[in-house]
Structure formats: structure tokens, C-alpha cells
Structure 1
Amino acid sequence: MPCELTQNLTQDCKDSIGGVLEVMACEFDNVKTITEAAGVVTAITLETAKQFRRYQMPKDASFFTDAPNANVQNGTIFYQQELTIVFNKMRTNVRNELLLLGQNRLIFIVKDKNGTYWMLGQKNAMDMTGGEGGTGTASGDRNGYTRVFTGQEPHMAVEVQASIIPTLLSPAA
């Protein structure tokens, strides 16, 4: 039985821009429930005293992709999510936080330059799979870190309602 198509789509206004402003991360196991309706997350409940951590990204450096992977013969499809984040200036506190990010299975909320929040790793978590750190060579080169996180999800990234973000950034009582 086919999956029924539900709407016509037209070209939208040319008012969208690329890029990531900030990234929020939480340990996958500290997310108790996620309430979603029609592709939008409307509530997230965290374990007691847990919160998402916010990382501001340098301009025009970080991004995420949400690529479909389909196998026609097997009738399967999943979405390969990949998040690349950048931290300028090598610092001990950044190094220590990156070590912790690498040791965890994570859920990310990404705020794009259009002001929209997107959830990555909702069902299966994301793991650090690559990156680099270094001083660069020339004075204009990056001194800092790049990290790549990947995950395989049954559905594309979902939008997160902006109104729930402040609660997620405060420790749950």
C-alpha cells in the first residue's frame, strides 16, 4: 500500500540563509521524553537537575546535513545526520568540554541563521566521529577545534519550538 501524499508544494520566497548560530547538546540518556506533533517538538522532559548546554558558533563555520539513504531492493530508508561544529582558539576549558562530548551519546538542538531550531539524534543519538584541532600555519589560519558528530535516524530532523528552549537551558528541578 502506498504512503499517501498530502499536499502541493510551491517555491517559497528567497528569504532563507545558510549556517548555524548555536548548538545545544544534552546526553541522550538524560532526555526522558520528547513530545512531537506534525514534525515539531513541543516539549522535552529531562532527568532531574539535567540541562542542555549551549555553544555559540563562529560566523559561517558550522553546519549540519540530513541526507536520505534509501535501498530500493530492501525497502529501507534512514537519514544520515551530520553536525560539524567549530570552536576558535585552543583553550583548556574547550578541550575539556570536547572530551566530554566525545565520550557521550548526544542529542543536539541546532539554531540556524533563520532562527529555527532543529533536533538531531532524536531516536538513536549522535556520536563524535571525527574532527581536528590545531594551531594552523599562517597568522590568518584557525587556531581551534572542529568536531563532527553523526547519527542515523528513521526520520529527518524535526523542528523544535523556540518557546521551550529557555527551559531546556536551565537545570531541571
Structure 2
Amino acid sequence: MACLITAGRTEPCKDSLGGIRAAYFINYVEDPFTITDGEAIAINVDVTEAFKYELRADGNNFAQNKVSDRNTGTNVNTQTLTLALKQLDKETSLQVDLMSKGRPIIVIEDYNGNFQAAGISEGMDLTGTDINSGGAKTDFNGYNLTLTAMEKDLAPFLDESTITALKALV
């Protein structure tokens, strides 16, 4: 049976960091990556550009919620990306509006050097925005965005050559 567990896991060292360093937006294309065993090993030639969003705030998060249902035989992974883009400006407002109309694929780079691709089958939808100027002088001024996708599998990790190819598209 193909659903049997094939490996265990030891307790890892306490040497990782939480948080997201950057998000790379790719306009939707079918099959953006070649995936083998949960790893993206190549990027589709139809992906010709990527747009990097640098992130340096604690409000940035990528979460996956995998749910299996024995009664229906389904297995769904809800991917949720929360971004805090500091400082309001005309260009970012335009891009946020375009995000809401499109369905980008987003590669998330964390502080441990991992790159994961979210929304690879149908793209991610901008499902929530809080565009805020702040009330007090020290309040957050910018864009709080929530993007979601429903996928069959967990977000694949990119291998080194695919990371290099992605960065070349920025």
C-alpha cells in the first residue's frame, strides 16, 4: 500500500528560527515546478519573472493545516500566508489590488534558508486585507495581507538549483 509511513524522526537540535525573510510572487502558470518526493527540483520555463517582497516584521507567517477525512476519503491542506508590508505607498497599493484579482503562486523563504512553494495547483487567493495608516505615531502603517490556498499536498521545498533559478527571475 502506498500510504504506509516509511521513516521515523529524531529530536532535532535547538538551532532553528521562526519567521519569514521574503516572499516571491509568481504570476500563475500551470505546473510551476517539477515536484519529486515533496521537493521542487525544477522551475517551469513558462515562469519568466518573480517579484520579491522583503519581510522584516514579526507579523509574517506561513501555516499549513492538513486535514484528512476518513468518511469522504479526502485529504486537504489549507495554506495560509500572512504578510505585514510596512508603509503605505501608491505602488504597493496597486500591487495589492492586482494580487486580489489574480492568483499568484508564492515561494516563502524562511530564516532557516528553506524555500517552500505555496498555491502551486491553483494559486493563492488574497482573502483578507487590513490597509491601515495607524492611529498613534508608533502604530503600524502598512498592509496586513492574508493569502490562502487549498492544496492536496504540503508545500514542497525547493532544491538548491531551483532556488538559484528562482532568484535569477527576480
Residues 42 and 155 from structure 1, CA distance in 2 versus in 1: closer, same or farther, beyond 3 angstroms?
same
Offset of residue 140 of structure 1? 1.3
Offset of residue 53 of structure 1? 0.7
User: Aligned partners of 2:133 and 2:40: how far apart in 1?
Assistant: 39
User: Aligned partners of 1:90 and 1:35: how far apart in 2?
Assistant: 36
Offset of residue 139 of structure 1? 1.4
TM-score, length-normalised on structure 1?
0.90
Which moves more between the two structures, 161-170 or 106-115?
161-170
SS class of match (2:44)? strand
Offset of residue 113 of structure 1? 0.9
Offset of residue 85 of structure 1? 1.0
TM-score, length-normalised on structure 2?
0.91
* 1:53–1:169 contact (8 Å) kept in structure 2: no
User: Aligned partners of 1:7 and 1:166: how far apart in 2?
Assistant: 29
Offset of residue 36 of structure 1? 1.7
Q: Which runs of 4+ in 1 moved over 4 A?
A: 169-172
Alignment match of 2:85 (pick from 74, 84, 87): 87
Match for 1:151: what amino acid? A
- What do residues 131-173 of structure 1 show as CA deviations (whole Å, max 9, x unaligned)? 210111111110101111101000011101243234334459x
User: Aligned partners of 2:88 and 2:81: how far apart in 1?
Assistant: 20
* 2:129–2:143 contact (8 Å) kept in structure 1: yes
| Contiguous gaps of at least 5 residues in structure 1 | none
Residue 18 (1) aligns with residue 18 (2): yes
Map residues 129-144 of structure 1 onto 2, 5 A cutoff. 129-144=127-142
User: Aligned partners of 1:170 and 1:101: how far apart in 2?
Assistant: 22
| Contiguous gaps of at least 5 residues in structure 2 | none
* 1:51–1:169 contact (8 Å) kept in structure 2: no
User: Aligned partners of 1:7 and 1:85: how far apart in 2?
Assistant: 34
Q: Which residue of 1 aligns with 2:40?
A: 41
User: Aligned partners of 1:41 and 1:166: how far apart in 2?
Assistant: 12
Aligned length: 170
Map residues 19-168 of structure 1 onto 2, 5 A cutoff. 19-29=19-29, 33-47=32-46, 50-168=48-166
Percent of aligned pairs sharing the same letter: 26
Residues 105 and 87 from structure 1, CA distance in 2 versus in 1: closer, same or farther, beyond 3 angstroms?
same
Residues 33 and 59 from structure 1, CA distance in 2 versus in 1: closer, same or farther, beyond 3 angstroms?
closer
Aligned Cα root-mean-square deviation (Å): 1.9
SS class of match (1:28)? coil
